């Protein structure tokens, strides 16, 4: 599939809180590749760099995109979801430059009602992993 | 500054670890777009605070290498005051941390600092 912008209303993140930008590939119903970056005007960017741990938010947003794409089309507005747990997160860098192209890969590993679990990886422009983890999310009320 | 709009009210490091009281200003850009009409602090913001705590205890060269487990129990909102305790890393570099808001646990977890911590 050609790379496409994440539709504005698909997830509720806006402005500097919106890290995920594009859908790169959805090879299976439970797997999604997204493009993104750290916005220069993010609250977490100082001197042009952000702590690498913030990239877990990019992964969580990619998971929210996957969840929204998997939901039946109903035209309901995107509602806030919540990150409820992180397990086995590993970081290979301490910080990352703002604006650099990043890729988030998410694979849904479980779903029970509003709760879902994902294995996630965020890679840099060189394709090397910067952060990986297992995330648990709640779809919200 | 740990991140925009986070005010350090008190901060201290001793043999047990790092403790701080931090106030989230309502003007913090951390709430911008997250979410409109329903602002809550992104969970990763707490992890940025933990990274700061590890550096406060181990020096600026200290890095956050891993998070074996983190649990987010309650949403953190504009104006909240966070009470943060990060234990000094053990022999394996693991530091337990907890964040309370209004006396209630909001976030708990373990972080692994680099070996030079």
Q: What is the CATH number of the domain that holds A116?
A: 3.10.129.10
Query: What's the distance, Cα to Cα, between the start and end of chain A in Å?
Result: 32
Position B38 scores a pLDDT of 94
Query: Looking at the domain assignment, is residue B19 inside a domain?
Result: yes
Number of helices (H), then strands (E), belonging to chain A: the values are: 1, 9
Rounded alpha-carbon distances, angstroms, from residue A12 to A15, B44, B54: 10, 17, 32
Q: What contacts B37, CB < 8 A, 6 or more positions away?
A: none
With beta carbons under 8 A apart, name residues in chain B contacting A133.
67
Is B72 an 8 Å CB contact of chain A?
Answer: yes
Chain A residues at the B interface, defined by Cβ less than 8 Å, are: 12-18, 41-44, 46, 51-54, 56-57, 60, 80, 82-91, 94, 133
The C-alpha atoms of residue A132 and residue A56 are separated, in whole angstroms, by 8
The boundaries of the domain holding residue A121 are 4-138
When divided into structural domains, chain A yields a total of 1
What would the 3-class secondary structure string for B87-112 be?
A: ECCCCCCEEEEEEEECCEEEEEEEEE
- Specify the pTM: 0.96
Interface ipTM > 0.85: yes
When divided into structural domains, chain B yields a total of 1
The partner residues of A36 in beta bridges, in order of sequence, read: A20, A102
Summarize pLDDT for B71-80 with one digit per residue, the tens: 999 999 999 9
Summarize pLDDT for B81-99 with one digit per residue, the tens: 999 999 999 999 999 999 9
HSE-CB of A37 using CA atoms within 13 angstroms: 12
Query: Looking at the domain assignment, is residue B86 inside a domain?
Result: yes
Angle between helices B43-58 and A55-70 (to 10 degrees): 160
The boundaries of the domain holding residue B83 are 6-113
Residue of A44, A56, A95 for testing the chain B interface, max B β-carbons within 10 Å? A44
């Amino acid at each position: 599939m050609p790379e496409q912008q994440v539709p504005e209303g698909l997830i509720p993140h806006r402005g500097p809180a919106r890290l995920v930008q594009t859908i790169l590939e959805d090879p299976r119903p439970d797997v999604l590749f997204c493009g993104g970056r750290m916005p220069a005007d993010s609250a977490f960017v100082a001197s042009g760099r952000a702590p690498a741990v913030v990239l877990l938010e990019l992964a969580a947003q990619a998971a929210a995109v996957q969840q929204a794409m998997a939901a039946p089309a109903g035209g309901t507005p995107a509602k806030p979801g919540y990150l409820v747990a992180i397990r086995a997160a590993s970081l290979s860098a301490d910080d990352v430059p703002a604006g650099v192209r990043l890729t988030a890969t998410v694979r849904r590993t479980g779903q029970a009602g509003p709760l879902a679990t994902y294995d996630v990886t965020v890679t840099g422009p060189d394709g090397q992993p910067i952060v990986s983890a297992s995330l648990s999310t709640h779809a919200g009320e | 500054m740990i991140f925009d709009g986070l005010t350090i009210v008190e901060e201290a490091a001793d043999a047990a670890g790092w403790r701080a009281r931090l106030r989230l200003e309502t003007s913090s850009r951390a709430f911008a777009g997250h979410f409109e009409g329903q602002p809550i602090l992104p969970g990763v913001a707490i992890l940025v605070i933990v990274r700061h705590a590890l550096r406060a205890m181990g020096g600026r060269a200290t890095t956050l290498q891993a998070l074996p487990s983190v649990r987010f129990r309650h949403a953190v909102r504009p104006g909240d005051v966070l009470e943060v305790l990060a234990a000094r890393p053990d022999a394996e570099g693991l530091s337990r941390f907890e964040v309370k808001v209004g006396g209630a646990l909001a976030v708990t977890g373990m972080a692994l600092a680099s070996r030079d911590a």
